[in-house]
A = this chain, B = another copy of it.
Amino acid sequence: MEELKQKIIDEGKALNNDILKVDSFINNQVDPLLMMHIGEDIAEHYRDKGITKVAAIETSGIAPAIMTASALQVPMVIIKKHANKLVSGGLLQTEITSFTTGDTFELTVSPKFLKKDDHVLIIDDILANGEAIVGVIRLIRLAHATVAGSAVLIEKAFQPGRKKLEEAGVEVYSLTKIISMKKGHIEVE
């Protein structure tokens, strides 16, 4: 997606090989027109695939996911990311550990909002090592719903996220791919 690629080139910052800052248009400040175009693009790719729900990974997945859900005319379900394990009862949950930061989170969702007839599209901002989306796949399968696929705004193509998701049988649609990065330099496909 050319518009997003240009934003990454203009405003993205690589702090090192691992950490990409896109806080001026995705993570902290969010450009709503860009998000609308992103939602339309993802919806176009997954149209006629029988999607019944869009799952957003908290927090940065929410803005692109609500725009995608709007374009597909289906509900969005927020997958919450709790820093600790004190989660109230009746929720589906699974633990994930961020490869980049080492932080452990509990991903949770209420089984009320993912049913066995649901065919769910997972949306997140950045795909690196894939832990978060792999966790959401587990949650969706715990709920006996099915995974329709995943979409990410930025794929760090030099990290193993795509491989892990494809091994889990899940399609990855990425709007942009970062081929390589190091401090002060980002190469976008």
Residues of A within 8 A of B (CB): 23-24, 27-33, 35-36, 58-59, 62-63, 66-67, 69-70, 73-78, 80, 83-84, 109-110, 112-113
Contact = CB atoms under 8 A, between A and B. Distances in A.
A78 B32 contact: no
Contacts of A112: 23-24, 28-29
Given A30-B66, A73-B33, A83 B84 contact: yes
Contacts of A58: 59
Given A28-B109, A28-B113, A83-B83, A36 B70 contact: yes
A76 B63 contact: yes
A78 B33 contact: no
22 contacts: A23-B110, A23-B112, A24-B113, A28-B80, A29-B76, A29-B77, A29-B112, A29-B113, A30-B66, A30-B75, A30-B76, A31-B75, A32-B69, A32-B70, A32-B76, A33-B70, A33-B73, A35-B66, A36-B70, A63-B63, A66-B66, A83-B84
A35 B30 CA distance: 17
Nearest to A67: B66
A35 B36 CA distance: 13
A20 B110 CA distance: 16
Contacts of A30: 66, 69, 75-78
Contacts of A77: 28-30
Closest 8 CB pairs of A and B: A32-B70, A32-B69, A29-B113, A30-B76, A62-B62, A63-B66, A29-B77, A29-B75
Max chain B Cβ within 10 angstroms of own Cβ: one of A24, A32, A78, A80: A32
